[in-house]
Structure 1
């Protein structure tokens, strides 16, 4: 089970309260799950996405180890311009 990190910025308390029920808040707005299963990670993202449609504001970034993704790092965002990861000759870049 890979490590999962969720970073929030300027979101409603509801989001942070939910996330803190699933994983510890290592720093303000930074939630870390050392061994979060894929099923739990997907459920967390589903809840966050559904709430986001009801009350957009701020931003949320979800990161996890994904062997099939560029740089072996999965990335999802809410509230930011869409970002994707790209591997350029071994350097991991973020496309905006």
Structure 2
């Protein structure tokens, strides 16, 4: 399990509600999960990506630490930066 951080900007309320149900909102639009496994991380991303296809506004960035590789992080994003 790894630390995962998600940052949202100008997204619909349902994105924020969903993320708050699976992660801790530490600041407006910034969500942290200190121990999220790969399956939960991928499912969370797939929900956000599907919603974005239906309502394409705002942006989301997700970053996490790759525990199997020293000094390497993974990331995904979509939308305006």
Instruction: Answer yes or no: same fold by TM over 0.5.
Output: yes
Q: Using structure 1 for the length normalisation, give the TM-score.
A: 0.78
Cross-structure match for 2:44: 44
RCO comparison, higher one (Cα < 8 Å, 6+): 2
Cross-structure match for 2:26: 26
Tell me the distance in 2 between the aligned counterparts of 1:9 and 1:80. Answer: 9
Cross-structure match for 1:72: 72
Q: Using structure 2 for the length normalisation, give the TM-score.
A: 0.92
Tell me the distance in 1 between the aligned counterparts of 2:67 and 2:40. Answer: 18
Tell me the distance in 2 between the aligned counterparts of 1:39 and 1:8. Answer: 21
RMSD: 1.8
Query: Per-residue deviation at 1:80?
Result: 3.4
Q: Are 2:13 and 1:13 aligned?
A: yes
User: How many matched pairs?
Assistant: 81
In structure 2, the gaps of 5 or more residues are none
In structure 1, the gaps of 5 or more residues are 82-96
Structure number with larger C-alpha Rg? 1
Runs of 4+ in 1 over 3 A off after TM superposition: none
Query: Per-residue deviation at 1:66?
Result: 1.8
